[in-house]
Amino acid sequence: MNELKLFHFEGHAVRTLQKAGETWWVAKDVCEVFGETNRNRAMRNLDADEKGYTQMTTPRGPQEVAIVNEPGLYSLLFTMRPKKARGLTAEEVTDRENRLKAFKRWVTHDVLPMIRQHGLYATEELLQNPDFLIKTLEALKETRAYNQRLEEENRIQIQQIAELQPKASYYDVVLTCKDAVAISTIAKDYGKSGKWLNRYLHERGVQFRQGSTWLLYQRYASLGYTTTRTHAFKGTGGEPRAKIHTYWTQKGRLFIYGLLKEDGILPLIEQTHDEDEAMSL
């Protein structure tokens, strides 16, 4: 189970979780500490093994949340180093550098050592007040039990959502189509190119490129999002050749819809619908 732990740095909430004995950080929280609003841009240069996604309960229901491990955290901090070219003054650059150093020291000297030693982050009050420690441990036990219930409820809700196939304008379009489609077809729904959408899915940690073919990472490979087709053709010398192409199922198409919607990118049909509603107000 991925247990969520909440820490605070200078008034900012920072969530972490444990996966296979490793601490992972919610990328959105780290970015907000430094006022970085473009999380995707900040994470673009992180290696695939430094970032990932996990299911979390949010006010909008269960969602995939971007996370980074310890090496990824340091890489993320490096990408947020201030540059005068961004229009910052020398004083602002110095202030950002000092905050980055303070945050990194907080992580390496306070949070991580305490997690590794005790499995939780202990404040001075927690260490020196036995009664408070007992209450904290009891609360932690209740929180873990609550998280277990939430995790089970989330799995049930996700299954129910998949079975109900909720109706929305874009959902209706997708559900009328039964065949697997090329990435370029899905991209056109958003006024984008297939190249743009492939790059986006790569940056979101969904797929990687092998030769000229895009393949899903292992965590998505068995979910029924894609299918492959082999196309036979003749080479320049007339010899028989074959090429494998990846196509997205309608389940995968809805998965992409969910990812893009998280980043505020809607299909053209819903953009038009929203504009019509706005004009009628």
Banded model confidence at residue 109, pLDDT cuts 50, 70, 90:
low
Task: Provide mean pLDDT across the span 45-50.
Answer: 86
| Predicted structure pTM score | 0.39
Model pLDDT, residue 277: 45
Banded model confidence at residue 20, pLDDT cuts 50, 70, 90:
confident
Contact 219, 206 (CB under 8 A): no
Query: What residue segments make up the domains of the chain, in order of their start?
Result: 4-121, 129-164, 169-280
Which residue is listed with tokens 């874009």? Answer: 170
Task: Provide mean pLDDT across the span 232-247.
Answer: 75
Banded model confidence at residue 59, pLDDT cuts 50, 70, 90:
low
When mean pLDDT is compared over 83-87, 106-110, 150-154, 194-198, the highest value belongs to 194-198
Q: Is the pLDDT of residue 263 over 60?
A: yes
For residues 162 and 251, give the distance between their C-alpha atoms in angstroms, rounded to a whole number: 9
| pLDDT averaged over every residue in the chain | 75
- For residue 9, give both structure tokens: 């740095």
When mean pLDDT is compared over 115-119, 201-205, 227-231, the highest value belongs to 201-205
Contact 43, 27 (CB under 8 A): yes
Q: Is the pLDDT of residue 78 over 60?
A: yes
H-run or E-run covering 229: strand 226-234
Among 124-138, 139-153, 231-245, 246-260, whose mean pLDDT is lowest? 124-138
Question: What CA–CA distances, in Å, run from 2 to 39, 152, 277?
Answer: 22, 13, 41
At residue 123, φ and ψ (nearest 5 deg) are -85, 170
Burial 187-219 (b: 16+ CB within 10 A, else e): bbbbebeeeebbbbbbbbbbbeeeeeebbbeee
Contact 189, 170 (CB under 8 A): yes
Q: What percent of the chain has pLDDT over 70?
A: 68
Task: Provide mean pLDDT across the span 151-169.
Answer: 60
Per-residue pLDDT tens over the stretch 162-173? 555 444 456 555
255 closest CA partner among 212, 208, 193, 207: 207
- For residue 265, give both structure tokens: 């990118």
